[in-house]
């Protein structure tokens, strides 16, 4: 799975992974991150998610990264936002008010671009990557965000033999493998969402658990 795969998915509008509304897990669990008004949240592989706008409306500075130029352009146009665009080496910075999206490869991000980040919100990044790429993703995430890592992670657990990703199955033991030596991991919720997201059933699943974790030390 390379950059061409995701560029083609956006070009074909094959974006079943995109939610038209704010993810309810973000609304329910955001406070666990302890990010103050004026703080900063990093959203990797953000697409054109409405979660970015919701975070900004809470008075949070939002930094996203997204490979697809179409996804970034559509986010700003659909939300009637006019960004300024500047080139940063291999990345473009699209910015309007308290929302910044770096258009380009996640692995091109450097710590200096994320110096003010208080927390990470990963709803669709880790699960978007095949197993061979997930360790590299987690290592780079830990490298570019300030220590200690504080994150809200949404993952899926399902029978990978019944459905090929993305999104991929990243069960609890793998979350512990990637982050257990870095920070404490606190499970927040686990729900079978097969009836709420019927396209998973059409792809062959009869159950899929959406799991939410807090990664980090207690913030309150």
Q: Structural domain boundaries of the chain? A: 3-14+24-31+38-215
Other CB atoms within 10 Å distance of the CB of residue 48: 24
* pLDDT attached to residue 197: 87
Average pLDDT over residues 77-94: 95
In tens, the pLDDT along 134-181 reads 999 999 999 999 999 999 999 999 999 999 889 999 999 999 999 999
Is pLDDT of 186 > 90?
A: yes
* pLDDT attached to residue 15: 45
Query: Please, which pLDDT band fits residue 13 given cuts at 50, 70 and 90?
Result: low
Average pLDDT over residues 185-205: 94
Query: Please, which pLDDT band fits residue 89 given cuts at 50, 70 and 90?
Result: confident
In tens, the pLDDT along 110-144 reads 999 999 999 999 999 999 999 999 999 999 999 99
Distances (CA, A) of 24 to 2, 89, 143, 199, 210: 30, 35, 28, 18, 12
* pLDDT attached to residue 220: 61
Strand partners, 44: 65
Average pLDDT over residues 84-92: 93
Provide the percentage of residues in the chain whose pLDDT is more than 70.
Answer: 91
* pLDDT attached to residue 60: 98
Residue 178 parent element (H or E): helix 172-179
Is pLDDT of 14 > 60?
A: no
| Contacts of residue 126, Cβ cutoff 8 Å, sequence gap at least 6 | 134, 137, 138, 153, 155, 170, 178
Kindly state which CATH superfamily the domain 3-14+24-31+38-215 is placed in.
Vaccinia Virus protein VP39 (3.40.50.150)
């Amino acid at each position: 799975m390379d950059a061409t795969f995701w560029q083609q998915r956006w070009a074909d509008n094959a974006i079943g992974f995109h939610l038209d509304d704010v993810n309810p897990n973000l609304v329910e669990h955001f406070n666990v991150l302890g990010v103050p008004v004026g703080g900063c949240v990093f959203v990797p592989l953000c697409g054109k998610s409405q979660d970015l706008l919701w975070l900004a409306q809470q008075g949070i500075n939002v930094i996203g990264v997204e490979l697809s130029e179409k996804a970034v352009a559509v986010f700003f146009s659909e939300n009637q936002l006019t960004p300024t665009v500047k080139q940063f080496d291999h990345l473009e910075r699209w910015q309007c008010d308290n929302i910044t999206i770096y258009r380009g490869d996640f692995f091109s991000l450097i710590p200096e671009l994320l110096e003010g980040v208080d927390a990470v919100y990963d709803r669709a990044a880790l699960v978007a990557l095949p197993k061979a790429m997930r360790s590299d993703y987690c290592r780079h995430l830990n490298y570019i965000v300030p220590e200690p890592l504080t994150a809200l992670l949404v993952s899926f657990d399902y029978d990978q033999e019944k459905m090929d990703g993305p999104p991929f199955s990243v069960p609890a033991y793998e979350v512990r493998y990637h982050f257990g030596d870095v920070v404490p991991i606190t499970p927040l919720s686990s729900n079978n969402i097969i009836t709420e997201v019927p396209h998973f059933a059409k792809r062959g699943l009869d159950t899929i658990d959406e799991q939410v974790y807090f990664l980090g030390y207690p913030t309150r």
